[in-house]
A and B are shown apart, each in its own frame.
Chain A
Amino acid sequence: MIGGGNAALCAALMARESGASVILLEAAPKEWRGGNSSHTRNIRCMHEEPQDVLLESYPEEEYWQDLLKVTGGITNESLARIAIRESATCRTWMQKYGVHFQAPLSGTLHLSRTNAFFMGGGKALVNAYYRSAEKVGVDIQYNAEVVSIELSDNQFVAANLKDGRRIAAKSCVLAAGGFESNIEWQREAWGIDENGSSPADNFLIRGTTFNKGVLLKHMIATGADQVGDPTQAHMAAIDARSPLYDGGICTRIDCVSLGIVVNENAKRFYDEGEDFWPKRYAIWGRLVAQQPDQIAYSIIDSKSIGRFMPPVFSGNESNSLDELASKLGLDAEVLKSTVQEFNAACKPGVFDHTALDNCHTEGITPEKTHWATTIEVPPFYGYPLRPGVTFTYLGLKTDASSAVFFDGIPSKNLFVAGEMMAGNILGKGYTAGIGMAIGTAFGRIAGRNAASAAEKD
């Protein structure tokens, strides 16, 4: 197993269950193990009736339609349905290996029907899987970065490690993540924008520093079939003051839909009230990436305090728009006129941030279609936003067997799981908890198939 996150661990446990002897190569040292799985919090699960922590029902067809909508049709229906169906039954297996589920976290009501939350989050899940893997005799190696794969006639022979070790095996699962942490590759993929700057230079990486895409690049260069667009990714708008790596969930800014968002020219650029924030946060990363210098500012007034999840960094509390503009480095006159114009366009309505209310603007572009209320009661708050890349979608093409393909022909003993193949299902867009559903489903399939490939050998 090459990788050390959810998909690799699921593959390792499954292969062990199927009788194989397993070595797991995690590039990170122990304290950073688990890749982006350590930052996750839930898995989207199909269910026909209420289960322990899942309310009502979430049938296959509804799940599929949700996925179809967010991906705009850039998906693979048969693979998607495999992940969806697996999600209905995999939780018992997860619990067997020590994963605990809990009722939805406060502030996540919209997910209480569809998503099962890991108690303690993804790192608790990763810890449980590592404990179980040790117990069942998986040989776990940390600081074991694989830089290349030796193939013979498209069959796996051995993995070569950065430290010079060569590890031969009868079969192999690649589950080493996307290339989100490789800024250089991101720069190459995003190129130069119309303002002459390189957008990727202003990206923040929400997860691990270890997903450099070394193995992904190597496999593509070796002739493995690829899938997806390198600029497509789960990309949220997060606080610009976040660390470059591993800022995780706490860096999100949840007040976008309650106020206005302006770019560095102090101008609005998109309908902030298009839909509920949980349905929109994943498109705002891209929206900010398309603005000059990839920065934007979410601005609210004191009416919004207490109506959104508390952010980790302070909101530059200011008693006037002049003061806020100076704190944020915006042109005060332009900001004031943007706010005035917006305030004048707000039509009276009944404000309700828990529903798609009727507070909207008229006569401005872009319009704000819900939760449009004037920004006038000091203190004012402003949060700087940057694109935060969660994970990239460029991956290796696969099918229901999770085999790696070369010129349309599946390898007999080389498989792929997790972020390295999620792009088969996620051409673009995202819906909460689908990454863990794909990782768990295809991790288990890859593990099982790798074990039987080893047996046949």
Chain B
Amino acid sequence: MQQLNELIQEAQRSVLSDQENEVDRIMTICNACRYCEGFCAVFPAMTRRLQFNKADINYLANLCHNCGACLHSCQYAPPNEFSVNVPQAMAAVRQETYIEYAWPKSFGRLYKNNGITVGLASSIALAFFLWLSIASKGSIEAVDGNFYAVFPHNTLVLIFGAVFTFSILALGIGFYNFWKNISKTGASIAAIGESAHDALTMKYLGGGHGEGCTNEDDGFTLWRKRFHHFTFYGFMLCFASTSVATVYHYVLGLDAPYALNSLPVILGVFGGLGLLLGPFGLLFLNLRRNPLHGDARQKPMDRAFILLLFLISLSGLLLLGYRDSPWMAYLLIVHLGFVMGLFLTMPYGKFAHGVYRVAALLKNAVEKRQPNTLKLGSD
């Protein structure tokens, strides 16, 4: 019996990665302290457990929004002997889950050196559109603001449609596998609603008191939440713009370019502005971020993604501004190159954080509706 227990414990330890063991070590300390319960969902979820297995650790790591409040408030943070740094340990495990749940599995390695991944994907996409334009037309020229004179509409739909579908499929499979691993039950409508609310409002970048999260020091700021909102909703408006344009094209038979006061252009302009301001602000904050927050090795991934979004938006707005100039074709190639760079790396870059975060928020919303099995009494 004793040997069996030791074997089980040994097996458990070896199943966990070094980073997961670090989260296990830290959560055991946090669970005996609990001062940070008010900041976010991670700590209340922790108190429902006495031990932390791999699935628990992956769930908690993705539930962490890296707001940093618990680090600055921690009596056990370095230089204390216990050396507790929750956001850093969680960030390291998050990257491991991205790698582990990537589909196809072997593509998970693209998360390592992700700056190179994003840079290469965007460069190759740019070169591809340059080649495609020359190969199909023999030269790069702009005709009356007509994008489809540069690239035929159906060609674009085919290329982007195929890559986008693949990326969504890959992310969907990642979500499904991750969810299956961290949750044994389904989700009620109420739980789905709550997790959607928590994700769409970025509730856990609010700090629990509504003053926001930490950035360069122990002071709180709402700007990270705001810039994230600009980025996310900007992205969604751009997506809506493209969707409406697709309906215009196929259903209404209206061909681009659309007038400045048309719905696709209005949505695109507002989305584009959000997607300029948001990533700019996030990059600004990221560069000033306290070095103890998060995992320094993932900065290239964070910044490559932020920059790519910024460049997509910048090139898109320039394209709109200069669509009637001879520069249109070049701007179109650049813009499409960046968008393709994003589509290609959606399942293999920072974009995926949203997918696993939503799964963790959903699990949290499900779990808090279940009775707590622990009856710990009072400390």
Contacts and interface: CB of A to CB of B under 8 A. Distances in A.
A120 interface: yes
B379 A277 contact: yes
A102 B80 CA distance: 25
B81 A120 contact: no
A32 B44 CA distance: 27
B72 A124 contact: yes
Contacts of B373: 306
Nearest to A125: B73
A113 interface: no
B38 A120 contact: yes
B102 to A, nearest CB: 34
Contacts of A39: 75
Contacts of A307: 375-377
Task: Say what secondary structure dominates the interface of chain B.
Answer: loop
A312 interface: yes
A156 B259 CA distance: 79
Nearest to A130: B218
A310 B50 contact: yes
Contacts of A246: 75, 80-81
Interface residues of B, number: 40
Given A105-B35, A120-B73, 17 more contacts: A41-B35, A102-B37, A105-B37, A106-B44, A107-B378, A118-B35, A123-B74, A124-B35, A124-B69, A124-B73, A249-B35, A249-B75, A277-B378, A278-B379, A306-B374, A310-B31, A354-B375
A124 B379 CA distance: 21
> Does more than half of chain A's interface fall in helix, strand or loop, or is it mixed?
loop
Nearest to B44: A106
A103 B75 contact: no
B371 to A, nearest CB: 14
Nearest to A279: B378
B31 to A, nearest CB: 5
A110 interface: yes
A120 B69 contact: yes
Nearest to A32: B79
6 smallest A-B Cβ distances: which pairs? A121-B35, A120-B73, A102-B38, A250-B32, A124-B73, A119-B38
Contacts of A100: 38, 208-209, 211
A302 to B, nearest CB: 12
Interface residues of A, number: 51
Interface string A31-48: 110000011010000000
A307 to B, nearest CB: 6
B50 A306 contact: yes
A309 B208 contact: no
A106 B36 CA distance: 11
Nearest to A121: B35
A243 B31 CA distance: 18
A107 B69 contact: no
Contacts of A225: none
Contacts of A305: 50
A353 interface: yes
A318 B6 CA distance: 10
A122 interface: yes
Given A122-B75, A278-B379, A309 B32 contact: yes
A38 B70 CA distance: 13
Interface in A60-103: 100, 102-103
Interface string B336-379: 00000000000000000000000000000000000001111111
B152 interface: no
B325 to A, nearest CB: 51
B8 to A, nearest CB: 11
Contacts of B374: 306
A308 B32 CA distance: 10
Interface string B80-116: 1110000000000000000000000000000000000
A251 B32 CA distance: 8
Nearest to A255: B377
B286 interface: no
A127 B32 contact: no
A109 B378 contact: yes
Interface in B13-51: 28-29, 31-39, 44, 47, 50
B379 A108 contact: yes
A319 interface: yes
A214 to B, nearest CB: 22
B327 interface: no
A123 B377 contact: no
